[in-house]
Amino acid sequence: MKLRNIAIIAHVDHGKTTLVDQLLKQSGSFRENQQVAERAMDSNDLERERGITILAKCTSVVWNDTRINIIDTPGHADFGGEVERILSMVDGCVILVDAAEGALPQTKFVLGKALARGLKPIVVVNKIDRGDARPDEVHEEIFDLFAALGANEEQLDFPMLYASGRQGWADAELEGARKDLSPLFELVLKHVPEPGLDESKPFAMVSTILESDNFLGRILTGRVEQGHLKVNAPIKAIRPDGTVVEQGRVTKLLSFRGLERVPVEEAKAGDIVAIAGLSEATIPDTLADPAVAEPLPSTPIDPPTLSMTFRINDSPLGGREGKKVTSRQIRDRLMKETESNVAIKVTDSAESEAFEVAGRGELQLGVLIENMRREGFELTIGRPRVLFRNNPETGEREEPFEEVLIDVDEPYSGVVVEKMSLRKGVMQDMRPSGGDKVRLTFLIPSRGLIGYYGEFLTDTRGTGIMNRLFHGYLPYAGPIEGRRNGALISGEDGQTTAYALDALKDRGVLFVDAGETVYTGMVLGEHSRENDLDVNPVRGKKLTNMRASGKDDAVQLAPPRRMSLEQAIAYIDDDELVEVTPSVVRIRKRYLDPNERKKQARKKQD
């Protein structure tokens, strides 16, 4: 059977996973009566809840006696490490672009990586059925983007289809028949080359995806770059620096058939397979025949740009809600994460029982924390910090910058430009974007965006769309003003009372409701002024003949502002921490004792 390996790449929410659903259905991968979840490739709970792809996944379909291996990739820049590895496994890619939104920052990122690898993309302008679709303009935008990214003559002559992934059709003509996805299948067979790899050499492949299975142990997925592999064959794992990590045998060889992994007896050059049998090998080790001495070249991963401190939960309520609370358990879990997620780096912190975790962005680290929370971990998280570096040639201090693309209604553009400039953002472009919307492009230090997203949604009444992409390291932009408001801090332990909170409502916005357990040093709300304020949220009414307790029931409290995990991490200041447990997210001061806080503040001023 002939073979094709392709990746589907695009900006977040442009319809990759929905299109893969239709490709699976129309190729006959599902029985007619088979129940299949919508966005079948998003199998992870968090992926389904958030409607985003976090992990790259492989599937395969058969069309006209050709097996097409399809890899669905994440669209968020934070998970770019997944996309970079995946492109080394394929010979072609389908790049999806929304017919209304056009080419967005992540489109630029993934396309740049694909062109650099010499791939010749097929362009699919998706969501043609949208009322605000503008296919001709989007076509021009894509061509300009190819040219700006240095595409060669062959790559610039890209084939293009118009499609609706949700309705399950693609067509070369804008007003074509719109029957099914067969034009896309045919174009893949015609435009994407066969792997064309050498089967006569000894077996070798680079591991690009790592998973663990309760029955099979460690499973490494990759594309066979040369030779043949059979079950029970001896193999070894070689690190990129040439050191041999371990030797073993292939206990299980799995190939992709639709959404399932099926055991096979043999794999040859070009096949994408999963191998079980090794216990130490990781990404991006070379798995090879014992006769192979040198590792295969692997794609270098862009460095992390953001770091957070993960600590044990040492609050007065620590250990009550989670099962995994020790620093050893946290360390083991973080080290396990670094094996499968090569974009994350973990080091020991200067603080005791704490670890520095560096990654691509707030979303990527937020997903890791959310997964740990669901697994029963309790931990406290410090404020995100960007990773500075010194320029190797000039010695100048540099920091990561991001390119931010904002679509916003025209009346709100002024406040967005003002806030971005306060955060050291420099406007690169401003143009109309259909209707009464404006598209703004900024270059801004990564630290300027920490904590801004919630403010941005408030300023634009929830209508603004912000997309960001790592641009590179540039000279330090100078100090950026942080959060302007102070915190309302609990000065007592106990349960909050409606009576006490009612007295505090004029002091600022509350994060807690009546009847919640609080402790000294916990942040209860945002003060309406710049300074922090210690308050008593557990004070009860002194009862007398004239003051009955029943009158407490008449107190009407405004609903508290509840923060999600990401919002809390973005909100906190340098002297605050987010306490994360399986059931609740709290904000607290780093030093719970008010006297210790004053002492540390004096030290900082000196």
Q: How many residues does the chain have?
A: 606
Q: Is 16 annotated as a binding residue?
A: yes
CA atoms within 13 A on the CB side of 405: 18
DSSP per position, 314-343: -STTTTSS-SB-SHHHHHHHHHHHHHH-TT
Q: Is 144 annotated as a binding residue?
A: no
Q: CA–CA distance from 428 to each of 403, 421, 479 (Å)?
A: 9, 12, 21
Are the C-beta atoms of residues 235 and 247 closer than 8 Å to each other? yes
Q: Is 129 annotated as a binding residue?
A: yes
**Helix H segments across 402-442?**
413-422
CB neighbour list of residue 56: distance below 8 Å, 6 or more residues apart? 71, 72, 73, 74, 82, 83, 85, 86, 209
Q: Is 14 annotated as a binding residue?
A: yes
First to last CA, the chain: 73
Angle, helices 135-148/105-116, rounded to nearest 10 degrees: 50
Handedness of CA 186, 197, 55, 213 (dihedral sign): positive
CA atoms within 13 A on the CB side of 446: 26
CB neighbour list of residue 203: distance below 8 Å, 6 or more residues apart? 224, 226, 227, 228, 229, 233, 235, 288, 289, 292
Place of tokens 């680290």: 365
CA atoms within 13 A on the CB side of 507: 22
- The pair of three-digit structure tokens given for residue 433, joined into one six-digit string: 């974007």
Q: Is 252 annotated as a binding residue?
A: no
Report d(CA 273, CA 298) in Å as an integer.
17
- The pair of three-digit structure tokens given for residue 297, joined into one six-digit string: 């070249």
Angle, helices 182-191/16-26, rounded to nearest 10 degrees: 100
Q: CA–CA distance from 182 to each of 49, 130, 158, 333 (Å)?
A: 31, 22, 18, 45
How do beta strands 228-230 and 266-268 pair?
A: antiparallel
Are the C-beta atoms of residues 199 and 228 closer than 8 Å to each other? yes
Which residue, among 77, 83, 100, 84, has the nearest Cα to 468 in the 3D structure?
A: 77
Q: Is 270 annotated as a binding residue?
A: no
Q: Is 102 annotated as a binding residue?
A: no
Are the C-beta atoms of residues 269 and 199 closer than 8 Å to each other? yes
Report d(CA 165, CA 14) in Å as an integer.
10
- Backbone phi and psi for residue 233, each to the nearest 5 degrees, phi listed first: -70, 145
Q: Name the CA dihedral angle for 533, 539, 542, 546, rounded to a multiple of 10 degrees.
A: 80
Which residue, among 48, 185, 69, has the nearest Cα to 122 in the 3D structure?
A: 185
Q: Is 13 annotated as a binding residue?
A: yes
Report d(CA 373, CA 433) in Å as an integer.
40
Report d(CA 376, CA 463) in Å as an integer.
35
CB atoms under 10 Å from CB of 522, counted, come to 27
- Backbone phi and psi for residue 357, each to the nearest 5 degrees, phi listed first: -115, 120
Q: Is 15 annotated as a binding residue?
A: yes
Q: Is 128 annotated as a binding residue?
A: yes
Place of tokens 């030797």: 247
Which residues carry a binding-site annotation for GTP? 13-18, 126-129
Which residues carry a binding-site annotation? 13-18, 126-129
